[in-house]
Structures are given as structure tokens and as C-alpha cells.
Amino acid sequence: MRKLAVDVVVIGGGSTGVGVVRDVAMRGYSAVLLERADLAQGTSGRFHGLLHSGGRYVVSDPGSATECAEENVIVTRIHADAVEPTGGYFVTAPGDDPEFADKFLAGAAATGVPAREISVAEALRNEPRLNPGILRAVEVQDGTVDGWQMTWGAARSAMEYGAKVLTYHKVTKIDRADGRVSAVHCVDLKDGEDVRIECTFVLNCAGPWAGQVAAMADCHPVDVIPGRGIMIAMNHRLVNRVINRLIYPADGDILVPVHTVSIIGTTDVKVENPDDLAIEPVEVQEMLDAGEILIPGFRKSRALHAWAGARPLIKDSRVSSSDTRHMSRGMAVIDHHERDGLDGMLTIGGGKLTTYRLMAEHIVDEMCRKLGETRACRTASEIVPGSENQKNYVVTHRLHDREEDRLEDQIICECELMSRQMFVKAWDDQPQATFDDIRRQLRLGMGPCQGGFCSMRATGVALETKHIDIERATGLLRLFLKNRWIGLWPILYGDQVRQTALDNWIFNGTLDIDHLPAPEEEVKL
Amino acid sequence: MIGAGVAGLTAALRLARAGLNVTLLTKGVGGLQLSQGTVDVLGYSPTDPATRVANPLAAVAELAVADPKHPYAVIGVDAVRTGLAFLHEELGEQLLVGDPETNQLFPTAVGAIRPTCLAQPSMLAGICMDGARFAIVGLRRLKDFHAELIAGNLARTPLPDGGHVSARHLTIDVPARPREVDSSGLTYARAFDDPEFRARFAAELRPELRPEETVGLPAVLGLKDPTAWSHLADLLDHPVFEIPLPPPSVPGMRLNNALMAAARAAGVRVINGSFVDTPVHSGGRLVSVNVETAGAPRTITGDVFVLATGGFESGALTLDSYGEVTERVLGLPLAGLDAAPLLHGDYWGGEQPLFRVGVAVDPSMRVTSPDGSAVPDNLWAAGGILAGAVRWTEKSGEGIAVGSAVKAADAIVEELA
């Protein structure tokens, strides 16, 4: 058993947990973050990529609107490399109430969300694929953000301040002594070793899994109601700005251009288990219909991949109103002192990725208050590693990079222009990674071929780095293909069927991959 | 003839050899260049994909009885034998060797061992037999061939008789073109057509080899020069074999080029870049189709038509966002749609029934209607468009293609006579 001792243990490696550990570390606490899988593998990686302008909330939730508008500016600055300031339009589609735009503009003015009505002609000139029947259009400052890159940026910042970030470490038990949290037990899932971490404070940021974590401290049940939403990535950027329906928030009301794709989202269905998120055919049809309203001919364009995320909604009757007085909108904090007689632990639920930093600030403020200390938050002013040059993401940046190194390096993934050296560096940094871990950082296999050409290359290159043996390399290839298929088959139509047939022809036909020696046990992580 | 894969080329050639006037319409370059460049008849049992087939023709005969929905049930083993013999004769021993009654095991580019019965001579030294000693040689600038992956998997794969091959790996760096680090297989194949490049390559590799080793290389050993691989073996003084890569496939291109040249020489008129649409019917027969090609749309008339357009991989079959499957060129009724569900979510859990969907034919390969709706009387089909097989899983693509191609061609010759 390994032993560690720190001030604070943060549980959960989504944007909230990583934002919290960064903030804690910057305020001078020693800290460890525990994540049972990879960073941002849950909700923070399974959204539509929108960095809110606040526009979505100007009518339904004015407080959130103001917070989003302020945090949008901060996140665009401190995570410059993860954010593309695309701008966005809210458009009144045919059949939508044109008067909602007036409420919208009034709400925007009242909440400090920059918004300006533009002519339909201007909107159509700038976004020619938009439905020509739109009635009104309002320009806002929406952006798009890569949730993985943002989360890793914050994690690297935390590590620079001395925090440890332990991925693939699953919490098994939280010890209490004399009414206080005393230690967190976890298991390193990669090597099976138990780890015990003594601490004075635990911040439970496990999102939809927060109830499971709270139960490990023998707390009263925390009712988490995961709300499942599906998203579909369409090949190409059908639009270059975020396109929102100018209506009260509803399903399928947004199309977000992120990297080389456009993502349509989303739905909201209550589910029991955040680890079991189906992509229902009826919801896929609903999203395609919704896309058709914004972009005529949407169904004829190529769907690449679908996924489902779980919103971390906590509905807990034991949360008293006083608990949330300093907190961000949409966020719930459970103080386990009042509720369960346990000091030194807070559970956080709700929230959204755009305001992750502000949420972290509020949570850590609350922790400091409970510890009787005053330490100022500095996360809004400090740039995270990788964004020092203050250049925001542009969709052509990899093309530029490959033009620079085309005489020195190979392209392993043509769809996403990922070079061999990019892959090797990531692999050297994380020799126990899976290809999905690398995918989240480098977009391996996320383009039109969905791994058809790059996954065999990645396997070969990973093996050549000498970090893994032939059994693991082959097992990782099997795992990657299996995982790609999870998000492919629910949206398999059009050109992606043709691609799949070609990919099957390559893998089963030419390479006969299904007749490699059967693994004794499938590689899972 | 619509389609220029192995089925379309074989059928066109056979019809031309019989003295008929053949026009071949093809949208692109044909599927052979995506293939592994061998002629597969049946590698694995369709009912038990874990079972390797030892004698393909015998297994086809059994399958024809056991599974009436499989294309081999209507093609029959005799047509497959005839088709293979025809192809073999057209391509010659310089491009195709083997025995349709015997599958041999060849290494793949991930190090699996894969059964096929007719291979290119440049692949033969790679047959996996107990005690074989392979040196798998990668090229640093060719990213689709990872010697360590291939050698590692080959060495840990038990052969069906319990034996093993031994395999080690090495990677050498001989640029195909100066200052190029990311070369395709095709670029290397063109380099290997040059005897001077072969000499340079052999000079680099030869000192690395150990006695008694057989050298496994990516299948890029020459495109135009069919002696490139054997010349290289002479220079190395070691037996050499090629391992097929993902597309673009140099061995597939060799077959394609040879068949296309033979078809043209036999008088087949080839119209490249033909996107075929607007079929015109009259009196229960297909009279003409339109092609959208350079210049202007053209109407192509014919006494009979053969659909050899392939499956989903070519775009001949499409599935739309509402779940509707369509045969793209003529809108033919399809067989295999009754399987439910057509797709499932378990990647390693067996084949996807969608890929069995296709056109139904009678034993002369004339298109029939599985649902009673009308189909033209003068329409035949061959190859991947036929319903009932997942060709890449069972390794049956070329056997189905050439069997159905010669059967359709022979039936058409009889009909028109």
C-alpha cells in the first residue's frame, strides 16, 4: 500500500474537480486529485463544446447569464489554446415566436450579455447554410471550447503548483475520525495497488457519481439524478458560428462548430445510472430533425459519431438554502457537517463547464471559510500552461503545423492531422494510456475514418516506444475499435456506412484482425 | 457492364472473349485497389468464423447446400471453379499462383495469419509453416507497416497444426524519394520498379539479415515490373515475400491493371468517371442508362445490363438517415432486409447483418425480385452487390465475384445466341 498525506483530496477529474484542485493548489494547500478514469472522460468531455456567451440564459435564468458572460471572457483568456471565439447567432426559425427576440434583447441588456440584432440578410451572408426562412437573428459572443484541452490545461497548472493528479485511481473508502474526514482510500486501477491518503479536507466533485462517493463516507444518500443528453458530430463545419434557436431552452436547439466538425445537441432524459447512457434511435431522429430546421439538408450531411453525457443534477431534500448562499447558479453544495455529522467534506453538484472556474472559486472559498482561513483566489488572472502566447484556437492550426514539419514528420491520422511526434510525445508522457486517452488529447480517430487508417498505425508506433508489449498493444487496438463503434452504430447512415464497410474490409478482410490470438482477458483500461 | 471491380472486369472480359460488344461504365477505379491482392474463395466458415477452411472449393460445395441464402448457393461450386480457372488463365502465373482446393496461411500487416488459396508469387515465401524463420522488415518512412507489431503477433500465433513460425523485426531507412519522410506504398512501389533502387535497398538490408531467414516486406515491391521482388530476393540472397497493406494496395493495383489492360485489348469500351443514373425501362426491360461524365450526359443503350457495382463500400448500396436501404443505380428491390436488427452495438460480437443485404439472383445470375416487385428481364448481377455474404469476414469476396461473373457472362452469351 502506498501512503500519502495532503491538506485536500479532490475527488473527480472533470472540469469542476480539476478547477478545484487548481484553485486549492494556487492558494497554497497541498492537494491530490483522484479520478477513476481519464481526465474529462465523463460529463466534461461529453458535451457539445459550447462556451456560453450567456445568451442561452438571458430570459430563463438571468443570474446564470451574467456569470456566463463574465466567465466566457476569463476562460477565453486563461485557456486561449482550448477556446475558439467563433461568435454565435440566435435565430428565429420559421414557426418560432418572433417576439421572443424582444424578450431576449431586453434580457441581454439587463444581464450584461453582449447582444446585437442583425438583419437576416447579414446572418445568411455570413452563414450561407442557415435556413433562409429565419425571421430574426441576434449576434452574441458564444465560443467553442475543447473540454479535454481545457481540463488538461487546468490540471497542468495545478501540477505546477504542486498538486498531484492521479488518473485511473478509484476511491474505495473515506475514513472519518472524531467526526472529521481523516483519509481517503483508493486503488490504482492500472496496477491494482491500494493507496491511502491522509487529509484534512475532501471536496467531492464527482458530478453524476457524487452520490456514490458520498456513500463511501457513510453519509446519508445523496440523490443524484443524471440527466442524459445526446450529441451528434457532423462531418465538416456546416456553420462557422454557434447557431442557437431563439426560443426558450429546448431539445436540439444548438449547433456548435468545434474543430473540424459541427455538433448538434441535445436532449434531456432522466436516467438511473450515469455509467449506462444509451443513445436511443428516437433521440437521434429528434436531433436530425432539429438540425434540419437550422440547416436545410442537414440529414444529407455526414454524421460521424454520437455520444451521451450525464448532467450532474443533485436533488437533495437535505440541502438547506443557507448552503448555497455564496454559490454559483445551478450549483448545489452539500455540507456534510450539518447533514451527516461529518466535518471536512463538501459535495458539489450541478454547474456548467463555462463557469467551472467560478464554481471552483466559490467551493474553495467555502472550504477556506470552514477552515477559518482567508486565502485569495487567483485563478481568473493566471494563464494556464499551453496558453501563454495568448493565441486562441483556429481550425487551421494543425494544417499550419504540418506544413511546418512535413519534411521531418509523418502524419499518423490524416483526418485530424495528428503527427507521429505528437503521438509519441503523448505516449511517452502517459505510457500506460489507452488510445482513447490519447484521442481525447490529440483527436486520434475522431475524423471521418473513425480509426480506419490511424488505429493500426497508432498501435505500431505505441509498440515501438517500448512502453508496452505486444499483448497490450494488440489489446489496446481491440479496445479502441470497440469503443469507436459504440458511438458509430447509433448514427450509421449515408457515407459513414460506406466508410464502415471500407474499415471492416481493411480490419477484417485485409488484416484479419479478428483472428489474432484471442486475449486471455480483454484490455479495459 | 456497370462496375469495374474484380466482378465487373472478369465478366466484361469473358463477354468480350465470347465476341460480344461490351461497354464498361465505372464511376471510379474499381475495388481491387482497395483489396489485399489475393483471390479468396472461402477462408472461414460463415457459420463458425473461428474455423479456418482447409479446402475452399469443398467448403463452397458444402455451403451451397447448407445455406440457401448464401451467394454460393446460387453460384455453385462449378461456376466458382470455372471462374477461378478463367481468371488464372487471364492473369497468368506471373500474377497468380495456388490451388483452389487448398488454403494457405499468409501473414497480414498486423501479424495475423490469414487463409487464401490464390496469391501472388511475391507472397508465396510467406506461407506460415512450422519452423519458418521470418525477418519482418519495416521501412521507417512507410507508416502502414509496423514490423514489430507484425513479428510480435506472428511469433505468438499458434499454427493450426500446433506449430509456430519464428519472427523478428527490424526497420531500415531507405527513402523512396529524397527529403520525403511520409511516403505511401505506391511511392515505394514505383521506386522498387527501378533496379538501381533495389540495389541500394538490398545493400542496406543485406548486412542485417541472418542465415536461413526469409524476409517479409510490405507489399510494395514493384508495380509495373513483375520481376522486381524476385530480383530483390536475388540481390539479398534470401527468400522474400510481400505482406499486403491497407489501401492503396499495390498487389490489388497489379491485378486491376492486368485485368483492365486485358479487357481493353479484348475490345471492351471503358468509360471512366461514369456516374450512372436515369435508367429507362420499356416492356419489362432496361433499355438505357445515362452517364454523367466529362463533357455532357450520355445515353448508353444495351441489349443486356450487368450490375457489378459492389456493396456498401462502393456506394452501390446506401442506408439513409431514416433507415431505408437503397440500391443506388436502379433502385432494385433488396434481399436480407428482414434481419432484425440490421446493426448491433457489440463490435466483437459477430457480423453486422446490414452487410448481408443485397440483390437477389436466380442460378443464372439474373436479377430477381425478393418482394414481387418488377425487375428488368435483361439484368444480371455479379460480385459484392449480391445478397447473403459478409465477404470480409469469411474471406469470400473474389470467389463470389469471379464465380458470379463467369456464370452471368456465360448465361448472357447463351441468351443472346
Give the three-state DSSP class for A325: coil
**Rounded distance between C-alpha atoms, residue A69 and residue A64, angstroms:** 9
Residue A113: what are its φ and ψ, rounded to 5°? -95, 115
A302 and A414 in a common domain: no
Indicate if the pLDDT at residue A419 is higher than 60: yes
A202 within a domain of the structure (yes/no): no
What residues does B172 pair with on adjacent strands?
A: B139
A103 within a domain of the structure (yes/no): yes
Q: A478–B348: do the CB atoms touch at under 8 Å?
A: yes
Largest Cα–Cα separation, chain A? 68
**Mean of per-residue pLDDT scores for chain A:** 95
From B153, B344, B392, residue closest to A508, measured CB to CB = B392
Q: Select, from the ranges A218-227, A348-357, A436-445, the one with the highest average predicted confidence (pLDDT).
A: A436-445
From A412, A469, A511, residue closest to B112, measured CB to CB = A511
A247 within a domain of the structure (yes/no): yes
Amino acid making up residue A357: R
A404 within a domain of the structure (yes/no): yes
| Interchain CB contacts (distance < 8 Å): A and B | 157
**Total domains present in chain A:** 2
Window 463-482 of A, Cβ < 8 Å to B? 463-464, 469-471, 473-474, 477-478, 481-482
Q: A508–B313: do the CB atoms touch at under 8 Å?
A: no
Chain segment A271-321, per-residue pLDDT in tens = 889 999 999 999 999 999 999 999 999 999 999 999 999 988 777 555 443
Pairing label, strands A31-34, A8-11: parallel
From A456, A459, A508, residue closest to B393, measured CB to CB = A508
Point out the domain boundary residue: A282, A309, A336: A309
In 3D space, the residue among B315, B350, B393 whose CA is nearest the CA of residue B70 turns out to be B393
A430 and A282 in a common domain: no
**Rounded distance between C-alpha atoms, residue B283 and residue B268, angstroms:** 28
Q: A490–B108: do the CB atoms touch at under 8 Å?
A: no
**Rounded distance between C-alpha atoms, residue B42 and residue B390, angstroms:** 11
Give the three-state DSSP class for A242: strand
Residues of B in contact with A480 (CB under 8 A): none
From A460, A461, A497, residue closest to B312, measured CB to CB = A497
A152 within a domain of the structure (yes/no): no
In 3D space, the residue among B38, B183, B177 whose CA is nearest the CA of residue B106 turns out to be B38
Q: B246–A453: do the CB atoms touch at under 8 Å?
A: yes
A112 within a domain of the structure (yes/no): yes
Query: Which of B309, B392, B393, B400 to substitute to test the interface with A, most A CBs within 10 Å?
Result: B392
CA B182 to chain CA centroid, nearest Å: 26
Cell of B324: 431505408
Range of the structural domain that residue A128 is part of: 81-144+226-309
CA distances from A308 to A182, A235, A422, A487, B10 (A): 36, 18, 28, 9, 47
Chain segment A182-203, per-residue pLDDT in tens = 999 999 999 999 999 999 999 9
**Domains detected in chain B:** 6-94+253-416 (3.50.50.60), 109-243 (no CATH)
Question: How much of chain A is helix, strand and coil, in % rounded to 5?
Answer: 40, 20, 40
Chain segment B81-133, per-residue pLDDT in tens = 999 999 999 999 999 999 999 999 999 999 999 999 999 999 999 999 999 99
The complex scores an ipTM of: 0.98
A402 and A302 in a common domain: no
Residues of B in contact with A473 (CB under 8 A): 149, 152
A198 within a domain of the structure (yes/no): no
Which residue of chain A has the CA closest to B50? A515
Point out the domain boundary residue: A275, A309, A343: A309
Residue labelled with grid coordinates 453582449: A114
CATH of the domain at A285: 3.30.9.10
Task: Give the pLDDT band (50/70/90) at residue A323.
Answer: very low
Q: Answer whether A96's CB lies under 8 Å from A50's CB.
A: no
From B152, B313, B393, residue closest to A498, measured CB to CB = B313
A272 and A137 in a common domain: yes
Which residue of chain B has the CA closest to A475? B153
From B36, B145, B321, residue closest to A510, measured CB to CB = B36
A126 and A253 in a common domain: yes
A73 within a domain of the structure (yes/no): no
Please check whether residue A516 touches B, CB under 8 A: yes
Point out the domain boundary residue: A268, A287, A309: A309
Please check whether residue A444 touches B, CB under 8 A: no
Chain segment B225-273, per-residue pLDDT in tens = 999 999 999 999 999 999 999 999 999 999 999 999 999 999 999 999 9
Task: Give the pLDDT band (50/70/90) at residue A326.
Answer: very low
**Rounded distance between C-alpha atoms, residue A408 and residue B180, angstroms:** 8
Chain segment A437-462, per-residue pLDDT in tens = 999 999 999 999 999 999 999 999 99
Mean pLDDT of B130-150: 98
Q: At a CB cut-off of 8 Å and minimum separation 6, what does B378 contact?
A: B285, B286, B302, B303, B304, B305
How close, in Å, is residue B381 to chain A by CA atoms? 20
